[in-house]
């Protein structure tokens, strides 16, 4: 019998069609085919997303309900459904119960979301006029995405990784005072830099895939106060902008070693810089743009976030005196509490007005 590689790579043959399982690459037949929803059905129902649209990287607007990818019964029923059930029951019980999940489970789920969208994107970006010419994406980008699929295969017990291959941030977020589920869902991804964020109910999750945990490490001091308080959705979005920007200025690419044994594959990741400088210098205007992109859907303008004259970024996380902003569910700043931010260097600008009225 022909020995199959433990790791399936759709990137070597560029197979992003609907005839093969997205996870294991197995040929799909009428009897073993199933549709895997990128965003699970329970989530679409709960947050009323069924007919809402998401903008893919290639600018296609696609309803959430149509975000399905081809999967075999085995992968769907055995591996993915276990993952989905674990996440579903944790999210349904709220932030506290979500925090009891292990980080690897959350990482796998976030990777599944990311890869599902990537698959959809790649399957739509085949040059339809010349299908044999392949994809409209650069080969360099495709090879970057390859590692995401390898991580995803860790939903099966034969693929393991050692050390950190991701940065994961989980926050407790205020739900809206109107108790309207629709307002407690938010999704944002940065396909090019392998990162994504989601708010589901009172839980906000940000994940950077494949960088040896350096983003989390570098922001830990800054973000520490916000792990122990309940934050406003606007603050969550500001944090997303700051995390995504940090990854943007990371100038050292991670390297991976695959250690294959008879029936297991281990992934070892490494990140090292000869000069010891991992990040490019922060440019306030760029940082402001990353934050603005997250806040734009709520009606913020670029001027709300970036002050040209001062070359400063508005922050909803700390005030001018370096105190952590506590904001209630209604968007009001709780003013009599002062938690001194330990990372404060006096370089943050206070909000111009009490914008967080959502
Ligand atoms: Zn499969």
Domain-embedded: residue 214 = yes
Q: What local confidence, expressed as pLDDT, does residue 131 receive? A: 58
Could you tell me if residue 71 is left (phi over 0), alpha (psi between -120 and 50 degrees) or otherwise beta? beta
Please tell me the pTM assigned to this model: 0.88
In the reported structure, the alpha carbon of residue 71 is separated from the centroid of ligand 1 by a whole-number distance in angstroms of: 6
Task: Decide if pLDDT at 165 tops 90.
Answer: no
- Please tell me the distance between residue 34's alpha carbon and the centre of ligand 1 in angstroms: 10
Q: How far is the CA of 179 from the centre of ligand 1 (A)?
A: 39
36-49: average pLDDT: 94
Residue 107 belongs to a domain: yes
Give 284-320 as a DSSP string.
HHHHHHHHHHHHGGGT--HHHHEETTTTEEB-SSB-T
For residue 70, the CA-to-ligand 1 centroid distance in Å is 9
**How far is ligand 1, taken at its centre, from the CA of residue 21, in Å?**
5
Domain coverage including residue 308: 10-313
For 299-354, what is each residue's pLDDT tens digit?
A: 889 998 888 888 888 888 887 677 788 888 877 766 544 454 554 443 333 343 44
Q: Is residue 280 part of a domain?
A: yes
93-107: b (≥16 Cβ within 10 Å) or e: eebeebeebeeeebb
Ligand 1: distance of its center to the CA of 73 in Å?
A: 7
In the reported structure, the alpha carbon of residue 354 is separated from the centroid of ligand 1 by a whole-number distance in angstroms of 50
Distance 139 CA to ligand 1 centre (A): 25
Q: What are phi and psi of 13, to 5 degrees?
A: -110, 5
Residue written as tokens 């520490």?
A: 224
Mean per-residue pLDDT of the chain: 83
Question: Is 321 part of a structural domain of the chain?
Answer: no
Q: How far is the CA of 155 from the centre of ligand 1 (A)?
A: 11
DSSP 10: H
At 179, the pLDDT band (50, 70, 90 cuts) reads confident
Q: Is residue 283 part of a domain?
A: yes
Q: Mind listing the pLDDT tens digit for each residue in 4-35?
A: 556 666 666 656 778 889 888 889 999 999 98
Q: How many domains are contained in the chain?
A: 1
| pLDDT reading at 141 higher than 80 | no
Domain contains 358: no
Q: Write phi, then psi, for 45 (nearest 5 degrees).
A: -70, -50
* Assigned token pair, 236: 């969550």
pLDDT exceeds 90 at position 238: yes
**Ligand 1 mean position, distance from CA 198 (Å):** 26
Lowest-confidence region among 106-110, 125-129, 286-290, 306-310: 125-129
221 occurs within a structural domain:
yes
Ligand 1 center–CA 156 separation, angstroms: 10
Q: Report pLDDT for 171.
A: 98
248 in any annotated domain:
yes
């Amino acid at each position: 019998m022909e020995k199959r590689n433990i790791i399936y790579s759709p990137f070597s043959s560029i197979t992003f069609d609907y005839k093969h399982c997205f996870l294991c690459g197995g040929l799909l037949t009428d009897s073993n085919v199933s549709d895997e929803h990128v965003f699970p059905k329970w989530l679409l129902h709960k947050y009323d997303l069924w007919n809402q649209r998401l903008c893919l990287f290639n600018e296609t607007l696609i309803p959430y309900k149509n975000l399905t990818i081809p999967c075999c019964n085995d992968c769907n029923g055995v591996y993915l459904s276990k993952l989905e059930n674990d996440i579903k029951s944790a999210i349904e019980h709220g932030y506290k119960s979500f925090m009891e999940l292990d980080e690897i489970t959350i990482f796998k789920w976030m990777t599944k979301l990311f890869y599902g969208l990537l698959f959809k994107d790649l399957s739509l970006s085949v040059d339809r006029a010349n299908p044999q010419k392949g994809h409209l994406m650069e080969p360099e980008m495709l090879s970057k995405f390859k590692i995401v699929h390898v991580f995803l295969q860790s939903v099966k017990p034969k693929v393991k990784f050692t050390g950190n291959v991701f940065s994961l941030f989980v926050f407790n977020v205020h739900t809206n005072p109107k108790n309207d589920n629709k307002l407690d869902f938010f999704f944002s991804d940065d396909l090019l830099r392998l990162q994504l964020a989601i708010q589901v109910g009172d839980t906000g999750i940000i994940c950077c895939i494949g960088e040896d945990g350096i983003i989390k490490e570098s922001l830990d001091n800054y973000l520490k106060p916000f792990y122990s308080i309940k934050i406003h959705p606007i603050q969550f979005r500001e944090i997303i902008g700051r995390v995504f920007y940090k990854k943007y200025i990371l100038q050292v690419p991670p390297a991976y070693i695959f250690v294959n044994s008879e029936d297991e594959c281990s992934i070892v990741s490494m990140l090292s810089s000869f000069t010891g400088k991992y990040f490019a210098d922060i440019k306030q205007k760029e940082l402001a743009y990353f934050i603005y992109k997250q806040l734009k859907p709520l009606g913020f303008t670029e001027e709300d976030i970036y002050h040209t004259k001062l070359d400063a970024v508005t922050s909803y996380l700390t005030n001018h005196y370096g105190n952590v902003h506590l904001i209630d569910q209604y968007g009001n700043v709780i003013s009599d509490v002062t938690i001194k931010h330990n990372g404060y260097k006096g370089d943050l600008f206070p909000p111009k007005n009490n914008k967080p009225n959502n």
